[in-house]
Amino acid sequence: MSFLRDIPIRNKLTRIITITSSLALFLAFTSFAVFELTTSRQVMSKELLGIANIIGANCIAALEFDDRQPVEETLQSLKADLRVIAAAIYDEKGKIFVTYGKDEKAKSQIPKLAPLKVGVNYQNDFMEVSQPIFYKDKNLGTIYLQADLTSLYDRLKNYANISMMVLLVSFLITFLFSSHLKKLISEPIERLTKTVKTLGTGRLDIKAEVFSNDEVGILANAFNQMTDNLLKTTVSRDYVDNILRSMTDCLIVICPKGKIKSVNQSTLNLLKYEEGELLEQPIYKIFSDDEITIERLLTEKLLNEGIITNIENKFLEKNGKSIPILFSASVMRSANSDITGIVIVALDITLRKQTEETLIHAKDAAETANRTKSLFLANMSHEIRTPLNAILGYAQILLRRKDLDVEQRKSIETIDNSGKNLLELLNDILDISK
């Protein structure tokens, strides 16, 4: 960001706000689109794998007895799922046993032989799911599903178009807002800077230390020149007093011993004091910290560094109420480098602190809701799996009996397999819910 260093504050503020907000919106929309595509494809693949497992389990008996009609009826149930455009059941040799397609074009895209790759495979505009059908460790065949991804891509295109429109509108609003904001923030500083520069041109041979290249640095230098060269006359003192009273932020001038020498009207309005009640009073009277802390901050640290910036503290009103502030301070020196005073500029940050507290409460509420959701999912997981485990347990007990005929054993095995498939499907649903 070095290219912004020497740009005036009025332009710096507009550029930073516009660029930052636009970049943040662009990254947010891009992240959302990538997340939406990835999540949608993962959810869709899990759902199709679950459907494939259920259909495969329902086709076990028909594949064993080479009965195509039940398989065709089972595949016809896929009409209810608009995503599935084609499906096929292959026998153990990999040849087509039964096919399903919403139209002839969809049927023509079904592979003639069972796919070698098991699981999920993505093509241009569709998703392929293939799963082997096992029964008693015997491979009876393969189920193949083909789902259309066109609607998913169309939805992402709509998201992209909407995002671009929102980005453009947000860019315009941000630019207008920052243009208005720069007038509220930078123009008072610029007016004060021009005034101070005019007052500080009495001794051109004296150079003050430069801390920055923007208007704030010019302001600090101008104050040094002003106090060194113009406070010696009555006219200069009047100029200084007028500048102090015209500032919108709190401005306090103290002597090297820590007593208040001058305050502007903004300070009096904030602290509810009259000017005579503060002049010649120790500076720690208006700070919430104790005398030792304030003295160490405004003497040791300030004398070593020459300037301190963005220090958080609290002012005390006349009635004892504390006000959060952000203040900076700078040392004023004479031509002989002797310290003549300290300038303190403070900003009331009450609104900022209230906003921070609101955000903390919102964060705590969100974390509580998340813990409640996790507890609910854990309880639901237990309540759903318990009856299924009972069914599977009793099925296993029945399968151990020796007096079952072939038909009874096959029926119980069907119950056991269906229960396992249903349990796996419920596990997938609960994983998606989490």
| DSSP, residue by residue, 297-317 | IIIIIHHHHSEEEEEEEEEE-
Q: What is the pLDDT of residue 239?
A: 55
**Predicted confidence pLDDT, tens digits, the chain (434 residues):** 444 444 555 555 556 666 776 677 677 777 777 777 778 778 888 888 888 888 888 888 877 788 888 888 888 888 887 788 888 888 888 888 888 888 887 788 888 888 877 888 877 777 888 888 888 888 888 888 888 877 777 777 777 778 778 777 777 777 676 666 555 555 555 655 555 555 555 444 444 344 456 555 565 566 566 656 655 554 445 555 666 566 678 888 888 777 888 888 888 888 888 888 888 888 878 887 766 677 666 766 776 777 888 888 888 888 888 888 888 888 887 777 777 788 888 888 888 888 888 898 888 888 888 788 777 776 776 677 788 788 888 888 888 888 888 888 888 888 888 888 888 887 777 777 66
Q: What is the pLDDT of residue 207?
A: 46
Residues 59 and 143: beta-carbon distance below 8 Å: yes
Locate the DSSP E strands across 92-201. 96-101, 119-122, 126-135, 138-148
Quick count: other Cβ atoms within 10 Å of Cβ 373?
Answer: 12
- Sheet of 119-122, strand order: 96-101, 84-91, 138-148, 126-135, 119-122
Query: What is the radius of gyration, based on Cα positions, of the chain?
Result: 38
Residues 342 and 261: beta-carbon distance below 8 Å: no
Q: What is the pLDDT of residue 173?
A: 75
Beta-carbon contacts of residue 419 (< 8 Å; ≥ 6 apart): 388, 391, 392, 395
Beta-carbon contacts of residue 390 (< 8 Å; ≥ 6 apart): none
Q: What is the value of pTM for the model shown?
A: 0.36
Tokens of 258: 């820590």
Beta-carbon contacts of residue 364 (< 8 Å; ≥ 6 apart): none
